[in-house]
């Protein structure tokens, strides 16, 4: 009986996370539309992507130049050897430890180490997929701070930048590399997760959690001065 009832809370968590992601996307969609309109006035500015961060003001995200392969490689290396590469897996492992997920891994220091290792591997896989996909479709994976320094402007900018990306041609497109990286890694993780936590639904929850985590780190970069560097 316990086995039959156990997935129910997990499915509720899946629905909550999906609802959060949908709400965030709806929140960012108007900005994407305004960004596309604002770019039509900048046909000769291939390195500028404009994002609306207020009711009447569009603050540009300036990309000095399209990143070279060497710059992309350096950005990738910085992303997998950064504070975020430690904090994100540790946070995820802590959540898993508190929820005892997956249950077969148990509790204690050894279980936390297993969860941390799994989360760290997932993070690295996600960044690797994102690196390759962004190079293929021309996305600039760097995160550019908001030019509007108001609380609302910076918050909205962080949300929008999670779901859309500037390109080397001055366009803005959905952040395909981030989506593919987050959900691709989530499905790869299924290969070492216990069978009762290795379904497509489980992977969808992990991928959505990773996207929400990216938004959280964008907010941290906007509001924590010493972390304000141009990065993912």
- Better pLDDT: 175 or 34: 175
Domain that holds residue 190: 2-227
Residue 113 lies in a domain: yes
Distance CA 224, CA 126 (A): 24
Q: What angle, rounded to 10 degrees, do the helices at 200-223 and 109-137 form?
A: 80
Task: Give the percent of the chain with pLDDT over 90.
Answer: 52
Task: Give the percent of the chain with pLDDT over 70.
Answer: 69
34 has pLDDT over 60: no
Distance CA 178, CA 88 (A): 15
Residue 67 lies in a domain: yes
Residue 68 lies in a domain: yes
Q: Which pLDDT score, from 0 to 100, does residue 144 have?
A: 85
Residue 48 lies in a domain: yes
Count up the domains in the chain and report the number: 1
Average pLDDT over the chain, rounded to whole? 77
pTM score above 0.95: no
116-162 pLDDT, tens digit per residue, is 999 999 999 999 999 999 999 999 988 888 889 899 999 999 999 99
> Is 218 in contact with 161 (CB distance < 8 Å)?
yes
33 has pLDDT over 50: no
- Report the relative pairing of strands 48-52 and 58-62 from DSSP bridges: antiparallel
Q: Which pLDDT score, from 0 to 100, does residue 228 have?
A: 60
Residue 232 lies in a domain: no
> Is 69 in contact with 136 (CB distance < 8 Å)?
no
The stretch 199-224 carries a mean pLDDT of: 93
The stretch 1-28 carries a mean pLDDT of: 44
- Least Cα distance to 161 among 231, 80, 85, 114 occurs for 231
Residue 199 lies in a domain: yes
Residue 185 lies in a domain: yes
């Amino acid at each position: 009986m316990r086995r039959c009832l156990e997935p129910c809370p997990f499915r509720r968590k899946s629905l909550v996370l999906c609802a959060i992601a949908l709400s965030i996307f709806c929140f960012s969609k108007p900005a994407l539309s305004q960004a596309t309109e604002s770019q039509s006035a900048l046909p000769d500015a291939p390195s500028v992507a404009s994002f609306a961060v207020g009711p009447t003001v569009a603050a540009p995200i300036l990309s000095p130049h399209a990143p070279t392969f060497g710059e992309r490689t350096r950005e990738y290396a910085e992303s997998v050897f950064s504070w975020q590469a430690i904090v994100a897996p540790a946070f995820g492992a802590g959540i898993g430890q508190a929820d005892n997920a997956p249950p077969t891994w148990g509790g204690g220091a050894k279980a936390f180490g297993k969860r941390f290792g799994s989360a760290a591997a997932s993070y690295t896989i996600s960044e690797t997929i994102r690196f390759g996909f962004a190079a293929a479709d021309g996305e600039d994976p760097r995160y550019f701070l908001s030019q509007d320094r108001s609380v609302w402007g910076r918050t909205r900018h962080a949300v929008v930048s999670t779901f859309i990306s500037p390109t080397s041609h001055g366009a803005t497109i959905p952040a395909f590399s981030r989506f593919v990286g987050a959900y691709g890694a989530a499905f790869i993780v299924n290969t070492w997760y216990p069978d009762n936590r290795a379904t497509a639904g489980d992977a969808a929850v992990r991928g959505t959690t990773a996207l929400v985590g990216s938004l959280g780190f964008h907010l941290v970069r906007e509001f924590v001065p010493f972390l304000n560097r141009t990065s993912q």
